């Protein structure tokens, strides 16, 4: 796996990122535009174009800048060094949310509602089962995005250092900061998607927090573009937040285990869910819950094994190029130890590495 290390001001980090990943950023942008257009037609019945996607991104520029000026400065640095307009870099970062805006300008036809959102399956375990708080997830996206999945270590001036799994030219996705705060996400879809702040910008700001509650507030108070489930963990606490664009509901995990795949679990969001839950999402939810229930202890090593589980075939937790989707990586974190362990590609055969802050 490629590891990119960035340091300095947000603008300086962005410039360095855009420089080292310039060719990859241009190619990933093109692939993500094609993905957004295809999914808007397949799952929303909407015929859209690149200008339509860029219009949504353009309407999200200033709200994103106001929400997190430091994160936006990094995006501007990436865009400048990669020789792309910042609106395109934002569209690339926010594809998951912006394609929902394109897919559901109104209620989707019933025949097009079973959208496969990928295969992200998240788990968070409180200390009574694990001996320590442990969390993590698989991360599925288009198979052709696999070459662009990287680890990024950021050491920003005057802010917490972070270690994340993400993609070329993108802000934070799944990661841990040096204050012991871990953040991750799985995708869900609700019909209230709108121009706004995308999930990578939200996670990037959350991981920039010095305190746990500030990380949670970065999610709950954001003018969100789309729906997502987020988990925020530190050495002692686990907050679970299932969001639509307009609503965020937080639940704290006092004991036990929480699992989340790619369908809404909380009634308020189920009422406006944009897609009928797929068989894969339901299977992965049940399978991960069963694996956790049967395990004697939920260590990082045990959870990494869950992510390599291929039971269920096309519906499995670990999926290998199923209808153009792939488990492109996975992450397991133990915040008290500052541990973040990542794998590139399918966990069933990939090599896990500890993402070290210095080497």
CATH of the domain at 312: 3.60.60.10
What's the pLDDT score for residue 358? 82
Same domain, 89 and 130: no
Query: Is 278 contained in some domain?
Result: yes
Same domain, 101 and 211: no
What's the pLDDT score for residue 291? 98
Query: Is 115 contained in some domain?
Result: no
Cα 26 to Cα 6: distance, rounded to the nearest angstrom: 20
Query: Is 112 contained in some domain?
Result: no
Same domain, 276 and 317: yes
Contact 316, 347 (CB under 8 A): no
Same domain, 34 and 81: yes
Same domain, 99 and 146: no
Per the structure, how many domains does the chain have?
A: 2
Query: Is 239 contained in some domain?
Result: yes
Same domain, 43 and 151: no
Same domain, 85 and 135: no
CA-closest candidate to residue 138, choices 291, 314, 323, 326: 326
Contact 120, 187 (CB under 8 A): yes
- Residue 243, beta-bridge partner list: 228, 248
Query: Is 175 contained in some domain?
Result: yes
What phi and psi, each to the nearest 5 degrees, are found at residue 328? -85, -5
Count Cα atoms within 13 angstroms, Cβ side, for 287.
24
User: What are 107's two structure tokens?
Assistant: 């209620």
Q: How many CB atoms lie within 10 A of CB 351?
A: 10
Cα 162 to Cα 168: distance, rounded to the nearest angstrom: 16
What's the pLDDT score for residue 118? 60
Q: How many helices (H) and strands (E) does the chain have?
A: 12, 14
Measured in whole angstroms, how far is the alpha carbon of residue 269 from the centre of its chain?
19
pLDDT tens per residue across all 359 residues of the chain: 999 999 999 999 999 999 999 999 999 999 999 988 887 787 778 888 999 999 999 999 999 999 999 999 999 999 999 999 999 999 999 998 998 888 766 544 433 344 555 679 999 999 877 789 999 999 998 889 999 999 999 999 999 999 999 999 999 999 999 999 999 999 999 999 999 999 999 999 999 999 999 999 999 999 999 999 999 999 999 999 999 999 999 999 999 999 999 999 999 999 999 878 999 999 999 999 999 999 999 999 999 999 999 999 999 999 998 888 899 999 999 999 999 999 999 999 999 999 998 86
Q: Which domain range does residue 215 map to? A: 122-354
Contact 270, 264 (CB under 8 A): yes
Same domain, 182 and 227: yes
Helix-strand-coil split of the chain, %, nearest 5: 40, 25, 35
To the nearest 10 degrees (0 to 180), the angle between helices 95-103 and 86-93 is 80
Same domain, 45 and 187: no
Same domain, 170 and 204: yes
Same domain, 143 and 101: no
CA-closest candidate to residue 175, choices 158, 190, 160, 195: 160
Read off the pTM.
Answer: 0.95
Give the DSSP H or E segment for 151: strand 149-156
Same domain, 16 and 60: yes
Indicate the burial class of 359 (C-beta count within 10 angstroms; 0-12, 13-18, 19 or more): exposed
By residue count, the chain amounts to 359
Point out the domain boundary residue: 45, 70, 105.
105
């Amino acid at each position: 796996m490629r590891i990119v290390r960035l340091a300095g001001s947000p603008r300086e980090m962005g410039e360095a990122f855009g420089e080292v990943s310039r060719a990859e950023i241009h190619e990933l942008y093109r692939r993500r535009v094609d993905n957004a257009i295809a999914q808007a037609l397949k799952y929303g019945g909407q015929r859209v174009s690149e200008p339509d996607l860029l219009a949504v991104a353009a309407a999200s520029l200033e709200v994103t800048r106001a929400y997190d000026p430091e994160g936006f400065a990094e995006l501007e640095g990436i865009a400048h060094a990669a020789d792309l307009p910042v609106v395109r870099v934002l569209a690339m970062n926010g594809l998951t949310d912006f394609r929902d805006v394109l897919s559901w300008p109104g209620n989707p036809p019933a025949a097009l509602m079973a959208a496969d959102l990928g295969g992200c399956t998240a788990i968070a375990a409180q200390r009574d089962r694990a001996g320590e708080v442990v969390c993590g997830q698989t991360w599925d996206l288009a198979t052709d995005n696999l070459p662009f999945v990287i680890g990024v270590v950021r050491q920003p001036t005057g802010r917490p250092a972070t270690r994340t799994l993400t993609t070329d030219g993108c802000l934070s996705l799944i990661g841990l900061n040096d204050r012991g705060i871990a953040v991750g996400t799985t995708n869900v879809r609700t019909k209230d998607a709108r121009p706004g702040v995308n999930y990578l910008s939200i996670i990037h700001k959350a991981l920039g927090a010095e305190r746990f509650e500030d990380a949670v507030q970065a999610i709950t108070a954001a003018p969100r573009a789309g729906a997502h489930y987020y988990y925020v963990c530190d050495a002692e606490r686990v907050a679970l937040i299932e969001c639509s664009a307009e609503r965020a509901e937080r639940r704290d995990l006092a004991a036990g285990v929480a699992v989340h795949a790619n369908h809404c679990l909380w009634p308020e969001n189920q009422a406006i869910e944009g897609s009928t839950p797929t068989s894969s999402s339901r299977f992965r939810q049940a399978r991960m819950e069963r694996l956790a229930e049967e395990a004697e202890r939920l260590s990082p090593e045990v959870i990494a094994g869950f992510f390599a589980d291929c039971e269920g075939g096309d519906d499995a937790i670990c999926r290998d190029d199923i209808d153009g989707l792939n488990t492109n990586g996975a992450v397991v974190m133990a915040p008290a130890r500052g541990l973040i362990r990542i794998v590139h590609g399918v966990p069933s055969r990939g090599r896990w590495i500890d993402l070290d802050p210095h080497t």
